[in-house]
């Protein structure tokens, strides 16, 4: 279906929904007059793990790194975005001078080596000078994207406390089942919150690692020591992640009350075939597979915002964007948690992706569809490099159709 006919179909469906009160066969788009928000999230993730977005290389001078970072903030302003989600703890390391963890090797190529400046402090100051919010993005449990502890600096907490670490799927992780690990992770994060006026603490979808065929995450000793009150290991694991979320939220508020707490989880909580409260999907389930009870966090009001990663196209049978948006809107309805949608800009124009992602209109159609649900308060794009490259003009189309003027982020 071409873009014009898709739009016409969507508007007709929305009109039918408005007059009859019945849900349309395919969720429709909001009329243009209803999708001109003056306050909405317009964010982009700025990823540092593996030098994905920034810094472009690990051998740049401090001045070159700083110039690149500022260029990313200027890009966000030029695209009428209002928030940058900056990855500052990619692998149990730090992009600020931390007493808990070593300097990240993405800065110099050597873990623990000072880059000679303060990236997080600079990012906060320069973002605020440009009217942007700066959300500090932390990965709680990932220690390394390899499985060799000897590659870590000798003073790394994972080497000082080898009993904290689990090797799984070719990577190293802190064990979420250990209370001392949970406390340490929070201490490391709260150091940044105490030092800098970040607008939010942000977690992504990495809690327990995603399943790997034929491999088991070895937390048996921790379960034996701490899991006796739970009916099974899965329930204990979910409780471990619940505790991380709830305790982190409380500690953020105690440290810097104006700082938000948000999470961008995997986009499917549970499939309806597993749980009647789940979505009409046939996908991996965060509740069961990575032990993240994302629906509970919203319904209990533990988060200031949630950004489910709805990285699928409209009409995809296993996980249809047009079905997941209303499902998440229903979860957020009546809660204190603001709902934003995570958008897969990185897929647009990628020749390895399906035909839907070769259409520049796919992404703007996402925003049209989401605008029909008042619970959706904005969108976040993965990731910065794709905002800049914009292979087929999908981001340019979003800006033209939806961002004619700057907007303030929700607070």
Please write the tens of the pLDDT for every residue from 136-156: 999 999 999 999 999 999 999
Q: Is cis: bond before 55, omega within 30 of 0?
A: yes
At residue 194 the predicted structure's pLDDT band, cuts being 50, 70 and 90, is very high
- Which residues 6+ apart lie within 8 Å of 312 measured at CB? 267, 318, 319, 320, 321, 324, 344
Q: Tally the domains of the chain.
A: 1
150 occurs within a structural domain:
no
pLDDT at position 326 over 60 = yes
Per-chain mean pLDDT for the chain: 93
398 occurs within a structural domain:
yes
- Which residues 6+ apart lie within 8 Å of 5 measured at CB? none
Phi, psi of 133 (to 5 degrees): -85, 145
The more confident residue out of 32 and 258 is 258
Phi, psi of 142 (to 5 degrees): -75, 125
pLDDT at 36: 53
CATH number, domain at 237?
3.20.20.80
Distance between CA 336 and CA 52 in Å, rounded?
33
163 occurs within a structural domain:
no
| Domain span at 61 | 3-34+41-140+177-402
pLDDT at 24: 36
For range 150-167, the mean pLDDT: 98
pLDDT at position 22 over 70 = no
Distance between CA 401 and CA 379 in Å, rounded?
14
**Neighbour-count burial of 4, counting CB atoms closer than 10 A to its CB (0-12 exposed, 13-18 middle, 19+ buried):** exposed
Phi, psi of 118 (to 5 degrees): -115, 95
Distance between CA 362 and CA 58 in Å, rounded?
35
pLDDT at 20: 32
At residue 110 the predicted structure's pLDDT band, cuts being 50, 70 and 90, is very high
151 occurs within a structural domain:
no
58 occurs within a structural domain:
yes
164 occurs within a structural domain:
no
At residue 30 the predicted structure's pLDDT band, cuts being 50, 70 and 90, is low
pLDDT at 411: 84
At residue 17 the predicted structure's pLDDT band, cuts being 50, 70 and 90, is very low
**Contact call for residues 104 and 112 (beta carbons, < 8 A):** no
Distances (CA, A) of 368 to 79, 143, 266, 315, 397: 18, 39, 22, 15, 12
Q: Which residue, 83, 37, 42, is CA-closest to 379? A: 42
Q: Which two tokens stand for residue 203?
A: 């977690």
Q: Which two tokens stand for residue 94?
A: 């730090």
158 occurs within a structural domain:
no
């Amino acid at each position: 279906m071409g873009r014009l006919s898709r739009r016409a179909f969507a508007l007709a469906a929305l009109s039918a929904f408005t007059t009859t009160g019945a849900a349309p066969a395919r969720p429709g788009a909001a009329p243009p007059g209803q999708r001109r928000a003056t306050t909405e999230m317009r964010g982009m993730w700025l990823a540092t793990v593996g030098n994905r977005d920034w810094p472009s290389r690990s051998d740049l001078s401090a001045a070159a790194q700083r110039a690149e970072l500022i260029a990313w903030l200027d890009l966000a302003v030029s695209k009428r975005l209002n928030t940058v989600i900056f990855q500052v703890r990619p692998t149990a390391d730090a992009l600020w001078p931390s007493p808990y963890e070593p300097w990240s090797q993405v800065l110099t190529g050597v873990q623990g080596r000072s880059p000679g400046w303060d990236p997080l402090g600079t990012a906060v100051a320069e973002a605020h000078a440009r009217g942007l919010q700066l959300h500090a993005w932390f990965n709680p449990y990932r220690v390394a994207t390899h499985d060799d502890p000897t590659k870590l600096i000798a003073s790394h907490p994972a080497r000082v406390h080898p009993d904290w670490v689990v090797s799984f799927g070719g990577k190293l992780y802190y064990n979420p089942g250990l209370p001392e690990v949970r406390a340490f992770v929070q201490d490391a994060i709260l150091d940044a919150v105490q030092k800098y006026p970040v607008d939010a603490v942000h977690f992504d979808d990495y809690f327990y690692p995603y399943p790997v065929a034929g491999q088991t995450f070895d937390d048996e000793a921790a379960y034996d020591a701490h899991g006796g009150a739970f009916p099974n290991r899965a329930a204990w694991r979910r409780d471990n992640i619940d505790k991380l979320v709830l305790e982190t939220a409380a500690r953020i508020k105690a440290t810097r009350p104006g700082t938000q707490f948000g999470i961008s989880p995997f986009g499917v909580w549970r499939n309806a075939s597993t749980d009647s409260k789940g979505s009409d999907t046939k996908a991996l389930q965060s509740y069961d597979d990575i032990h993240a009870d994302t629906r509970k966090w919203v319904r209990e009001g533990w988060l200031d915002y949630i950004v489910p990663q709805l990285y699928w196209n409209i009409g995809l049978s296993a996980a249809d964007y047009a079905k997941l948006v209303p499902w998440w809107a229903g979860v957020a309805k009546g809660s204190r948690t603001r709902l934003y949608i995570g958008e897969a800009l990185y897929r647009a124009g990628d020749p390895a992706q399906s035909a839907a992602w070769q259409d520049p209109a796919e992404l703007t159609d996402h925003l049209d569809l989401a605008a029909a649900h008042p619970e959706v308060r904005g969108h976040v794009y993965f990731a910065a490099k794709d905002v800049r490259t914009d292979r087929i003009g999908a981001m340019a189309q979003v800006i033209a159709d939806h961002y004619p003027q700057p907007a303030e982020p929700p607070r």
